Amino acid sequence: MRVANVPMRAILGLPFPTPLSRNLMLLHYTGRKTGNAYRQPVSYARDSSDVSEGTVLLTPGGGKWTLSLAGGRPVRLRLRGREVPARPELITEAGEVDRLFGVIARENPRAARFVPIPRDASGHFDPQALGVALRHGFCIVRWHVPANYDTV
């Protein structure tokens, strides 16, 4: 993925929407230990079931990059060619992770294929496998984008 991320950063960093930006966005964040600035391509799905103010996006997360998001520090996203602020929320409760992953699988099936946790025929995670994954850092990142930013 490291090699693939180089051209993805360039494409997702463009100031206009591209076909890739329909399901991928570029996350700009600061490392929690180093203070270095990072740009990470991540998949996303819109959570239209969330009726909070603003836009809510969901990303499956399992890498070390999610550790830098703990505490909900604001980040910037390059979303469909536009720079938008967002507040990340790490979801680690098994039932909510399972429910939100269902939203991701429905809205962005390609992203669901990259999560190696076994699921049953109805799409729900195997509870034991999910428990192990959660203990090893898997989560869902819920991105809160303010209402005054159009994220079409």
Per-domain boundaries in the chain: 2-145
- DSSP tally for the chain: helices H, then strands E: 4, 7
Rounded Cα–Cα distance for residues 99 and 12 (Å): 28
CATH number of 2-145: 2.30.110.10
What is the reported pLDDT for 51?
67
Report the candidate in 77, 38, 73, 32 with the shortest Cα–Cα distance to residue 57: 77
The one-letter code for the residue type at 146 is P
- By the 8 A CB rule, do 92 and 26 touch? no
107 contact partners, CB below 8 Å, separation of at least 6: 45, 46, 47, 58
How many C-beta atoms surround the C-beta of residue 89 within 10 A? Answer: 14
What is the reported pLDDT for 3?
76
145 beta partners: 55
Q: What is the pLDDT along the chain (152 residues), one digit of tens a residue?
A: 677 888 999 999 999 999 999 999 999 999 999 999 999 999 999 998 876 778 999 999 988 899 999 888 899 999 999 999 999 999 999 999 999 999 999 999 999 888 999 999 888 999 999 999 999 999 999 999 998 776 55
